[in-house]
Chain A
Amino acid sequence: MREEAFYFFTSIGNYTGVSAASLDEFLQKIKDVDIKSLEFHLFREDFEKWISQTLGDDRLAGEIKILRNLKVSGNTLRDRLYFVLSRRLKELKGGVSAPASASSSAWTSRERVQP
């Protein structure tokens, strides 16, 4: 049992079988999880809550909130989510120093999720 993990659902009570127990794992899982799941959790603010309450990263949670307010969906959502999370992960590992908002011009195709 991984109580602190994030469990991906596509709708109320419908669990995909995909879970992530760390930011690293979360980043990997969002590449392939059903897009409906990303939309479901973003709308419910579940990502923000888990990142803030379980991972304790309020700044990253704030960036996810910006993404939610932009009302992106489909693969655009997947790509942007991947971008925001991977940038933060690199930063935490000492790779990137300056954060940028999810809607900024820092978004480049170079960093899109590879199919």
Chain B
Amino acid sequence: MKLKGEAAALDHLDLQILRQLQENAKQTYTEIGSRLNVAHSTVYDRIQKMESLGVIKKYEALIDSDKLGLSQITAQMTITTDPKETENIAKRLAKFAQVLEVSTSFSEELVILAKVVAQDQGKLHDFIARSIAPLTGVLRIRTAIVTKKYKEERFSPFARENALREKE
């Protein structure tokens, strides 16, 4: 595993280890090693390196809000903005606790994509009407409330491997 420019050059085994950690980060080195047919010391070394290089940023718990008794709805917002204000608006959005993700996208026009949670539809609307619509440079907001989630992952190690294979 070498650093190639900014990105760490990961091999197939690193990517397999990442996949294992994504499935269950509490697995022991021995468990991961036996699944991948490598020594636990190899798994340990690879994980240590990926942590030190910042490839693995942190380990976190995925919490089921329903079981906590915190029923909440999730919505995806697409905010069309005045291009001069896009960055400011994105930064302001990122500060709200209700906003889980903020990113910008340029397709036909410059928009901000944001994932928001709220207790119910009424509170979601109040939050958008009182805190987001009034921001300078917000031109339009489209909101889609998530009704069913089929998959949720942050990163696919194998997407990168496939890209590398295509280059070869």
Contact = CB atoms under 8 A, between A and B. Distances in A.
A and B form one complex? yes
Interface of A: 1-3, 5, 7, 9, 12-17, 19
Nearest to B75: A13
17 contacts: A1-B134, A1-B136, A3-B130, A7-B133, A7-B134, A9-B129, A12-B121, A12-B145, A13-B124, A13-B125, A14-B143, A15-B128, A15-B133, A15-B138, A15-B141, A17-B138, A19-B134
Contacts of A3: 130, 134
A15 B129 CA distance: 8
Scoring B75, B124, B134 by chain A CB atoms within 10 A of each residue's CB, the highest score goes to: B134
A12 B125 contact: yes
Given A9-B125, A13-B125, A19 B133 contact: yes
Interface in B132-150: 132-136, 138-143, 145
A16 B135 CA distance: 14
Give 10 closest A-B pairs by Cβ, nearest first. A13-B143, A15-B141, A7-B133, A17-B140, A1-B134, A15-B133, A12-B125, A13-B128, A17-B139, A12-B121
Nearest to A19: B133
Interface in B81-100: none
Contacts of B135: 1
A14 B142 contact: yes
- Size category, B interface: 20 to 34
A6 to B, nearest CB: 9
Nearest to B137: A1
Interface string B34-47: 00000000000000
Contact of A14 (B130, B138, B139, B141): B141
Nearest to B142: A14
B77 interface: yes
Scoring B77, B139, B143, B145 by chain A CB atoms within 10 A of each residue's CB, the highest score goes to: B143
Nearest to B118: A13
A1 B137 CA distance: 9
A86 B135 CA distance: 29
Nearest to A6: B129
Contacts of B140: 15-17
Contacts of B75: 13
Nearest to B125: A12
Contacts of B129: 7, 9, 15
B134 A13 contact: no
Contacts of A19: 133-134
A12 B141 contact: no
Contacts of B136: 1
